[in-house]
Amino acid sequence: MGTDGFDIEVDIRRAAGAATRFYGDPTTENCYRFEDTLKLLVSATNSVHRVSRLRLNPSTSLSELLPLCPILLTNSTSGAKTRNLIVQFLYNLGIHNVSLRRHMCSALELCAAVWQALKVSVQEENGPDVLLDLLKLLQVLTYEKCLILGLWANDLISFLIADVIKEPEAEWLPFSTAILCNLTTRSKSAGMRIRKSSNYKPFSKRLIRLLQHDSRLVVVSCLVLIGYLEEKIRDVVYSPANLSMTFQCVFNVLVLGDAPLTRHVACDLLRRMVISEAPTISSQPVITATGRDLVCYSHFNACIQKVAGLLLSVDPLLEETSKILELLISLCSLSSVRSPICQAILHWKGSSGELRTPIIAIAKTGCLPFNEAIDSLTPIRALQLLNYLLKEAVDGGQPVADYIPCERLMQILEENVKTTIDTGSDLVGKQCERICEALRMAEVLSGDDEIRASLLAVTSSQLCSHLAETQLMTNPIAVQMHKPPQSRNEILPIWSEHGASIILELLRLLAALKDTSKAHKDQYWRSLRDERLVPFLGFALTNGRHEQVYNALVVLNHCAQVHDFPTRRLADMIASNIIEKRLKENPLSSSASLNTSNEARRSTETEVIFEPINQELNGKNVRKVLDDVLDRLRRDFDHGALKQSDVVAVYEGKIAQMLRKEKELEALLVSKEQALSQSERLRITTKSTSLSNENEISKMRTLITENERLVDEKMKTEKELFDALTAKDLLVEENRREVDLSGQLRQAAKEMKEKFERASTLALEKQQRCEELLEEKKVLTADLAESRQQSATLSVNKDNEIDELKKSLSETRKRAVFSEEELHACKEKLTRAVGDENQKEEEMRRNFEIERVQYQKDFSAMKNRLEAEKKEMQERLSLVEAECEKTRQEIERVKRIREEMLKLAGNF
């Protein structure tokens, strides 16, 4: 056990001591100390990684603490805080350790104590948090099939029904419905008690409304309750018209989950919907009508893939993983749906970057140690499901390596087939089951040509011989089957049956490999000729389960190839097993049959009695026959049914038999005296050689020990060599992948370089264009200034001309005297000249203003265009610089990877 396990053991030991002191002396100080240790214990048990390792052994402190918990829960000296801490501690144990949960609800009968604590908390009004903790613990405890119901169950059912129909609903409603679901599922009497409740009608109506509740635990619990309690509503919910929606609802609850044990209830419900619970003689389960509709469900494959995808996200140490595996195994056990389910799991498609698949997660769970799993069946279920998937792939002609790497598969097979069998452990039966599943996996993989060579290396003939010899020499069946039926008083351990399955599975594997390996073929024939195999075949044929009987019949067909196979001995052992069963079922059956025979004989004539007696006297059991006859004669003589002469004849036969017996004893005594003298001579003869024999025996033992050591070293060396070769192959594969990655990075760097060059060229072209536009801007600015200067000069010239004309006019007026008409004509002429000049000046100014506005518009548009192009070029330049920086970093990383690969290649 790791450091976490050690720390939790220390906390449990402290809590056990504090609980004992508080129970013996319930003072305030002892209460505070007990509560402090409970706080530490609640914090320490809030992890499945630590709690799943706990085992209930008599030597552990946990076996002292747990019996005190129900006492302290119902003790009046325990306060609300103390009770709440105890409940939290028990909940952590129950939710994270299945074996402890079963012990608490069966051996400790903890449910009654928790119900008493719940009633006290309701009376004291301790608050909703306390009630939540108590109901959560009751939900966990009532989920187990080993639950023992008592009078407390009636009160609890009444309380829960009232709680469910209460308005407004309480926050612990999901746990109330879940507890009712558990009780109804585990006991028919609980269902009858619910139906007889005075509040049943409002309760049934409430169940229908709760099917639309936000809590998934409430929805799935109501579906279960309706299935058990309401026949009419059940026919509607599970009718063919609504079955698709019901399936979708259950699958959604299973995939999404929410509260604790939600997925557990969904798995159980789905299994009951698909698999019939009616007893049959077949080992194969029977599919229900709703199960046949499930295959036709349009989203069937997608739902199965979502369920299988949970194995990637859920912690394999949690019980949810075990329940999901159990569900998938149950579905795969149905021959009609096995292939589509296996194909859906094998062809699971995750997200684009997802490398793991459900089959890899299943294989990883199959290697989980027993002491780490929350349920010891979890790794075994994972191996069973993996065998279904591998068989589907092999039977379909698909290479197994397409779904799981060959090296990983061989590693899983080797770890499981080499499981150590510790007969002193509680898990010895599970260890044998694990080896059986590994041997089944090897038999399945023998059909794949690509990995058969690796399979022969892992399941070598030496390993097969070691597995067979271990069971043939240590399994109690070998000794038990050689005893007479009346002497078989010892009860065989459970693991012996699984040990017998190891031999049968091993022979099936050897039969599959004998045509591809001479060593396995020799081991196959040696095993069939070994007479120690007979007791195991006899036991399997008469005491085994369906699968074991089938395997025994298969092996028996192989044994038919052996010419001198001891079939008679096998028949005797089968008959002795049948007699043993009859004796165990009715020990007085033989005497009863004898009495019945006597009663029948009394009703016939006296001669009819003596006729079979005279025939039996010629046999070997004369004395026994005569004794029986004399007893019968005494009884019949009392009734006056016999003559005295008949009795005398019988006694004369008895005396003659005794005389013959005396002669036989005298002859036997003479032979014994001769044998005694001969043995004395042999003793004297062998006494001188005993010392040398002992030396030879000691040498032989030394050689055997040395041989075993060398065999172990050889196996260890082979394992190390295989591990080294595997590591080498992994390194070579990794090196190849790194080389491929380096080439891809070089190609990416080359492409980035080309993009950078194109971007640089484009940036230079844009820069040149920008410079040209700036030059054009300068030229246009100069032209605009020149135009303005010309306009100003023209305006000045016009003003000067007008002034000169005015001066000329004034001088003309002064210098000459004209007539009025001439003056008027001159005035009109002058006015027209002035008007023309003004009109020309105005037109010139208007043209100049238009040209000036147009120049300003062109200049603004050019300026805006240049600024936009400048901004665009700056953004492109920034992007190019970022790409260049990223490319430089990629090149640096590729260089570092290349250097590391060169170093790795040099070391390799």
What pLDDT digit, counting tens, does each position of 491-507 carry? Answer: 888 899 999 999 999 99
Q: Is 66 exposed, middle or buried (0-12, 13-18, 19+ CB in 10 A)?
A: buried
Whether the pLDDT of residue 28 is over 70: the answer is yes
**Closest C-alpha among 99, 57, 94 to residue 370:** 99
Reduced to 3 states (helix: H, G, I; strand: E, B; else coil), residue 287 is strand
Q: Is 490 exposed, middle or buried (0-12, 13-18, 19+ CB in 10 A)?
A: exposed
Token readout for 195 is 């139906």
| Lowest mean per-residue pLDDT among 9-13, 41-45, 874-878 | 874-878
Yes or no: say if 223 and 211 are a contact pair by the CB < 8 Å rule: yes
**Closest C-alpha among 100, 99, 268 to residue 178:** 268
- Separation in Å, CA 263 to CA 250, 297, 447, 688: 9, 21, 36, 77
| Phi, psi values for residue 287, rounded to 5° | -80, 145
> Residue 514: what pLDDT?
92
As a whole number, mean pLDDT of residues 635-652 equals: 57
> Residue 603: what pLDDT?
39
Token readout for 174 is 């999901």
**Closest C-alpha among 471, 457, 480 to residue 502:** 471
Map tokens 């309401």 to a residue. 230
As a whole number, mean pLDDT of residues 302-324 equals: 91
Q: Is 720 exposed, middle or buried (0-12, 13-18, 19+ CB in 10 A)?
A: exposed
Cα–Cα distance, 604 to 591 (Å, whole number): 21
Amino acid present at 538? G
Residue 424's DSSP bridge partners are none
For the beta carbon of residue 672, count every other beta carbon within 10 angstroms.
10
Whether the pLDDT of residue 688 is over 60: the answer is no
Per-residue pLDDT band for 598 (boundaries 50, 70, 90) equals very low
> Residue 686: what pLDDT?
59
Highest mean pLDDT among 42-51, 124-133, 574-583: 124-133
DSSP-based helix, strand, coil % in the chain, nearest 5: 80, 0, 20
**Closest C-alpha among 110, 114, 115, 181 to residue 148:** 110
> Residue 639: what pLDDT?
45
Q: Which residues contact 317 (CB under 8 A, 6 or more apart)?
A: 48, 49, 52, 368, 372, 373, 374
As a whole number, mean pLDDT of residues 204-223 equals: 92
As a whole number, mean pLDDT of residues 859-868 equals: 75
Whether the pLDDT of residue 621 is over 70: the answer is no
> Residue 351: what pLDDT?
65
| Phi, psi values for residue 633, rounded to 5° | -65, -40
Amino acid present at 386? L
Pairwise pLDDT comparison (99 vs 610), residue with the higher score: 99
Per-residue pLDDT band for 663 (boundaries 50, 70, 90) equals confident
> Residue 55: what pLDDT?
79
Pairwise pLDDT comparison (123 vs 681), residue with the higher score: 123
Map tokens 């007791």 to a residue. 535
Pairwise pLDDT comparison (338 vs 283), residue with the higher score: 338
Whether the pLDDT of residue 131 is over 70: the answer is yes
Per-residue pLDDT band for 602 (boundaries 50, 70, 90) equals very low
* 8-state DSSP, 504: H
Report pTM. 0.65
For the beta carbon of residue 885, count every other beta carbon within 10 angstroms.
10
As a whole number, mean pLDDT of residues 217-230 equals: 92
Whether the pLDDT of residue 318 is over 80: the answer is yes
Token readout for 857 is 């518009």
Whether the pLDDT of residue 740 is over 70: the answer is yes
> Residue 643: what pLDDT?
56
Yes or no: say if 262 and 217 are a contact pair by the CB < 8 Å rule: yes
Cα–Cα distance, 84 to 905 (Å, whole number): 61
Residue 275's DSSP bridge partners are 287
**Closest C-alpha among 179, 141, 163, 152 to residue 74:** 152
> Residue 529: what pLDDT?
92
Q: Is the domain covering 720-908 a CATH 3.40.50 domain?
A: no
> Residue 169: what pLDDT?
85
| Lowest mean per-residue pLDDT among 113-117, 341-345, 627-631, 885-889 | 627-631
Whether the pLDDT of residue 522 is over 70: the answer is yes
Percent of the chain with pLDDT over 70: 84
Whether the pLDDT of residue 27 is over 70: the answer is yes
Q: Is 357 exposed, middle or buried (0-12, 13-18, 19+ CB in 10 A)?
A: buried
- Separation in Å, CA 865 to CA 770, 773, 860, 876: 10, 10, 9, 16
